[in-house]
Homo-oligomer: A and B are copies of this chain.
């Protein structure tokens, strides 16, 4: 309908958001190596990994059409990142943990953007935090469902928990009267640090084991 970017005044946020979509698409493409998929399937899964979280958030909140219908550049960035990774990924043998930091930054960014959008709709703070987490992690959940796997975030380190803590911190700082941008940056840094700490020291939540 409208052609203007979703965050017109926040050009840095906008660029970071597009970068986070690209990072999600790249990591999804690298993971798709495990399955025998054609280029189309890889591109679709990569794009969904990048924009799925924000799409689910928009549907649940009734912000329709979803954000990328207004601004197709999100889909284009996701497809371009997937195709480049598809062809270059085999030649460049990147170290296994090359994307851990970009991925953590993307998680942090999606979380604060999602939380911020929900807060602007005057929902309960708990729902705003939930929308931040959904924006941060649901792209990966849908990616794993499409790849026919139990979603990784249900089985692995403190991924969604980092997102939840970041969202709650952002809301707390905002309600204490801190400037929006400062609250965003602090919440993002904390989210990234928790995520990296969880990877570094293998911190995880209690697990259920079969026949325990």
Contact = CB atoms under 8 A, between A and B. Distances in A.
Interface of A: 1, 3, 32-42, 44-45, 55, 59-62, 64-66, 68-69, 72, 75-76, 86, 90, 121-124, 126-127, 130, 141, 145-151, 153-156, 160-161, 204-210, 212
A37 B154 contact: yes
A36 B127 CA distance: 27
B145 A36 contact: no
A50 to B, nearest CB: 14
Contacts of A124: 3, 69, 72
B208 A40 contact: no
A75 B130 CA distance: 10
B69 A61 contact: yes
A15 to B, nearest CB: 20
Contact of A154 (B69, B146, B153): B146
A1 B121 contact: yes
Which are the 9 A-B pairs with shortest beta-carbon distances?
A41-B154, A62-B64, A38-B205, A39-B205, A62-B65, A148-B150, A72-B126, A72-B124, A37-B154
A60 B1 CA distance: 13
B69 A123 contact: yes
